[in-house]
Structure 1
Amino acid sequence: MSGGDSYHYGDNIHGDNVNMYGGTGNTGIVKQQSPALREATEELVRLLGELRGAVAPGSAQVIDDSLPVIASGATPPQDRHRALIAMATIAATVGALGQPVAEAVNKVLGLMGAL
């Protein structure tokens, strides 16, 4: 890009925004969560808090380890995806009790574009 060039890219679905004003070697993107993704994630975190008390200690530890990864909008998508799959697996092992968590995981994955 030459010194006077200016570029803008905006993604209304995911909230991403890139502005570049001249220079060379510009890299980077401002990643933002959509309000729908933020709300779905908050609901999932709430449901995981409820589920945590109903699972074996090993599964509770996996939930504890995964919560910060799921809740952080700054987490790399592949790490967040792995944590969400782990939560879906735990939810599946507890049957009907885990169904709301499984549905919430699927909603978050769908909003992330990972389904």
Structure 2
Amino acid sequence: MSGDSYYFGKTVNMHGGTRNTGMVNHGSEPAAAQPADPALAEAVRELTALLRELRQNVSPLTAQSIDDSLPAISADPGAGRPEERHRALMAVAGIAATAGAIGQPVLDAVRAVLELLAV
């Protein structure tokens, strides 16, 4: 096993020589990040607006829970991990469910975002 070599990513080996410049890349570059789905972006905007309204009608401790969840709720595919976003959506859905009638629009908006995320 002492002769086994494992290479990950781009590797450059130079054996002697002078004026060695440049590097030949055989392979593809990483895929570019996909832009956010416009429907998802709109649903997230609506949800965050509704959460800001709901926040005004709940206790300070519950408002802090909403504030803690907001950064993870994003339409950007590169923003945070999917499980963090899902956890944040479930947290605000729980808050909305306990808020009664004033929380129903938030609950509907969370459901719409989850459907767009296909979760």
Q: TM-score range by the shorter chain?
A: 0.7 to 0.9
* Structure 2 alignment gaps of length 5 or more: 1-24
Please say if residues 91 and 98 of structure 1, whose CA atoms lie closer than 8 Å, have aligned partners that are also in contact: yes
- Taking every aligned residue pair, what percent have the same amino acid on both sides? 52
Structure 1: 4+ residue segments shifted above 4 A: 26-29
Please say if residues 45 and 71 of structure 1, whose CA atoms lie closer than 8 Å, have aligned partners that are also in contact: no
Within 2, Cα distance between the matches of 1:82 and 1:53? Answer: 22
The structure showing larger relative contact order (alpha-carbon pairs under 8 Å, at least 6 residues apart) is 2
Map of 1:78 onto structure 2: 83
Map of 1:105 onto structure 2: 110
Q: Please give the TM-score of this superposition, normalised by the length of structure 1.
A: 0.73
1:32-47 to structure 2, matched below 5 A, reads 32-47=35-50
Within 2, Cα distance between the matches of 1:35 and 1:22? Answer: 35
> Which of the two has greater strand per residue?
1
Q: 1:18-42 CA distances to partner (integer Å, 9 max, x unpaired)?
A: xxx9527x65562432100000000
Alignment RMSD (CA, Å): 1.9
How many residue pairs end up in the alignment?
93
Please say if residues 47 and 100 of structure 1, whose CA atoms lie closer than 8 Å, have aligned partners that are also in contact: yes
Please say if residues 44 and 75 of structure 2, whose CA atoms lie closer than 8 Å, have aligned partners that are also in contact: no
Which one has the largest radius of gyration? 2
2:104 paired with 1:91: no
Helix, strand or coil at the partner of 2:58: coil
